[in-house]
Amino acid sequence: MPGRLEGKRALITAAGQGIGRATAEAFVAEGAEVFATDLDLALLDGLDCETFALDARDDASVRAGVDRAQPDVLFNCAGFVHHGSVLDATDDDFAFGFDLNVHSMFRTIRAALPGMLERGGGSIVNMSSACSSVIGAPNRFIYGATKAAVIGLTKSVAVDFIKQGIRCNCICPGTVESPSWHDRVKALGEEMGSYDKAMEAFVARQPMGRVATAAEIAALVVYLGSDESAFTTGHPHIIDGGWSGQ
Ligand SMILES: NC(=O)c1ccc[n+]([C@@H]2O[C@H](COP(=O)([O-])OP(=O)(O)OC[C@H]3O[C@@H](n4cnc5c(N)ncnc54)[C@H](O)[C@@H]3O)[C@@H](O)[C@H]2O)c1
C-alpha cells in the first residue's frame, strides 16, 4: 500500500517540536520526502528525514529553504503566542506577532508558489487557531488578530490560484499539548498561584475535557497535504475538541 503522501516533497517550518514535529513524523510515515526545518537546528535531531535551519522571519533563509526542498506540500507551522489584552500589547510585540505568525507565510508562499505552478500543483497548509476570527480567547489579543489574518491570507491565495492546481487551507486547533503550551501553563500558574489551577483552566476550555495531542493535529495536516482532500481549498479547518462548537 503506497503512503498517502508518496511522491510528494514537503517543506515544514517550525518542525523542531510540538505540532510541526508531529507533522514531520506523520508525513515521513505516509511516504513523503520531508524537509523538516526550524529556527533551532538542534531541535530537529532524531527526525528521520532531511533537516536544516530555516528562520521563517528571514526572506533569504526562506528562499534558500524553498530552493532546496522544491515542495509540493508546504506546511507553515511557525508561530508564537503572546499573552495579554490590547492594553498589555506593545508596538514591538504586535509587530513581532504579525511578522512571525503572518508575514512568514507571505514569505514562504511567495517563494514556493512559482515552483508549484511550474510543476502543475501543490497544497499549502497554514497554521491558524480556533482563537482567531472563529472565537476570541481571553488574553490573546495579538495572537487572535494574527491567526484571523492567516484565514484571510489563506482564502486569498486559494481563490487566486484555484484554476492552477494550487490548494490553500488553514487549520484552527484548540489547545494542543506542546513544549510552548507547557510554558504557558507554567506562566499562568505563577499568575494564579497554582500550576494545577492553571492546568484546570486550560483543560476547562475544551468541552472534551482534555487538550489535543500534536499527533491528532498532524493527522489533519496529512489529509490536507494529500490528494484525499483534492476538492478542498480556501477553508479554515477547525479541530478544537468542541471549543467553538458549543
Ligand atoms: N499548542 C497549541 O495549543 C496551539 C494551538 C493552536 C495553534 N497553535 C500553533 O501551532 C504552531 C506550533 O505551535 P506548537 O505549540 O505546536 O509548538 P511550539 O510553540 O512548542 O514550538 C514552536 C517552534 O517554532 C520554532 N520557531 C520559533 N521561531 C521560529 C522562526 N522564526 N522560524 C522557524 N521556526 C521558529 C521554535 O524553535 C519551536 O520549535 C504555532 O503557529 C502555534 O500558534 C498551537
* Annotated catalytic residue 143: yes
User: In this structure, which long-range contacts are made by residues 198-203, counting pairs with CB atoms below 8 Å and at least 24 apart in sequence?
Assistant: 202/175, 203/175
* Active-site residue, from 27, 35, 143, 202: 143
Query: Is the CB–ligand 1 distance for residue 15 below 6 Å?
Result: no
Query: Is the CB–ligand 1 distance for residue 39 below 6 Å?
Result: yes
Instruction: Quote the cell numbers at residue 108.
Output: 514562504
Query: Is the CB–ligand 1 distance for residue 13 below 6 Å?
Result: yes
What domains, with CATH codes, occur in the chain? 9-175+213-245 (3.40.50.720)
Q: In terms of Cα–Cα distance, which of 201, 140, 206 is closest to 173?
A: 206
**What does the mean pLDDT of the chain come to?**
97
pLDDT at residue 41 in the model: 98
Give pLDDT tens digits for 126-176: 999 999 999 999 999 999 999 999 999 999 999 999 999 999 999 999 999
Give pLDDT tens digits for 175-194: 999 999 999 999 999 999 99
Determine the 3-state secondary structure of 224 from DSSP: helix
Atom 28 in ligand 1: residue holding the nearest Cα: 39
Query: Is the CB–ligand 1 distance for residue 218 below 6 Å?
Result: no
Element (H, E) at 123: strand 122-127
Measured from the Cα of 211, ligand 1's closest atom is 3
Residue 80 CA to ligand 1 center (angstroms) comes to 6
Give pLDDT tens digits for 80-100: 999 999 999 999 999 999 999
Residue 77 CA to ligand 1 center (angstroms) comes to 6
- b/e code 26-64 from CB counts within 10 Å (16+ = b): bbbebbbbbbbbbbeeebbeebebebebbbbeebebbbe
Cα–Cα–Cα angle for 102, 107, 112, rounded to 5 degrees: 125
Query: Is the CB–ligand 1 distance for residue 38 below 6 Å?
Result: yes
Measured from the Cα of 128, ligand 1's closest atom is 7
Query: Is the CB–ligand 1 distance for residue 157 below 6 Å?
Result: no
Residue 62 has pLDDT above 70, yes or no: yes
